[in-house]
Amino acid sequence: MTPKNIRVEDVDGILKEARTEELLEWAKYMIPYYGVRPIVIKEGSGSTLRDISGKEYIDFASIAHSNILGYGCQEVKEKMREQIDELSTITGTHGYSIPALQLGKLIAEIAPGELSRYYSSAGGSESVDIAIKTVRAVTGRQKIIARWGGYHGCLAWSGSASGTVLYKRAYDPISPGFIHVPPPYCYRCTFGLEYPSCGLACAKVIEDAIKYEGPTIAGVIGEMIIGGGGVVVPPDDYWPTVKKTCDEYDVPLIDDEIITSFGRTGKMFACEHWGISPDVMTVSKGLASCYNPISAVLVTEKIAKGVEKLQAYHFNTYSYHPVSCAAALATIRVIVERNLVDRSARLGEKLRKKLSAIVDEFDVLDGLGGKGLYFGFEIVKSKQTRVPDPDLAGRIANSAFKNGLLINVSRMRMKEGVIGTICPPLVVTEEEMDKGLEILRSTIQQLI
Ligand code: PMP
Per-domain boundaries in the chain:
29-66+340-447, 75-337
| Three-state secondary structure call for residue 269 | coil
Question: Measuring from atom 13 of ligand 1, which residue has the nearest CA?
Answer: 124
Distance between CA atoms of residues 266 and 344, nearest Å? 5
pLDDT category of residue 147 using cuts at 50, 70 and 90: very high
CB atoms within 10 A of CB 25: 11
Cα-to-centroid distance, 155 and ligand 1 (Å): 10
Question: d(Cα 411, Cα 421) in Å, to the nearest integer?
Answer: 11
The CATH code of domain 29-66+340-447 reads: 3.90.1150.10
According to CATH, what is the number of the domain 75-337? 3.40.640.10
- Residue 175 pLDDT level (bands cut at 50, 70, 90): very high
Q: Give the strand order in the sheet containing 48-51.
A: 41-45, 48-51, 56-59, 405-406
Pocket probe for ligand 1: among 258, 412, 413, the residue whose CB has the most ligand atoms within 8 Å is: 258
pLDDT at site 158: 97
* β-strand pairing of 48-51 with 253-256: unpaired
Confidence of residue 151 (pLDDT cuts 50, 70, 90): very high
Residue 36 CA to ligand 1 centre (angstroms): 18
3-state class (DSSP) for residue 127: helix
pTM, two decimal places: 0.97
CB-based burial, 243-280: b 16+ in 10 Å, e otherwise: bebbeeeebbbbbbbbbbbbbbbbbbbbbbbbebbbbb
Task: Find the 295 Cα to ligand 1 centroid distance in Å.
Answer: 10
Confidence of residue 412 (pLDDT cuts 50, 70, 90): low
Q: Tell me the per-residue pLDDT of 211-243, one tens digit each, with 9 for 90 and over.
A: 999 899 999 999 999 998 889 999 999 999 999
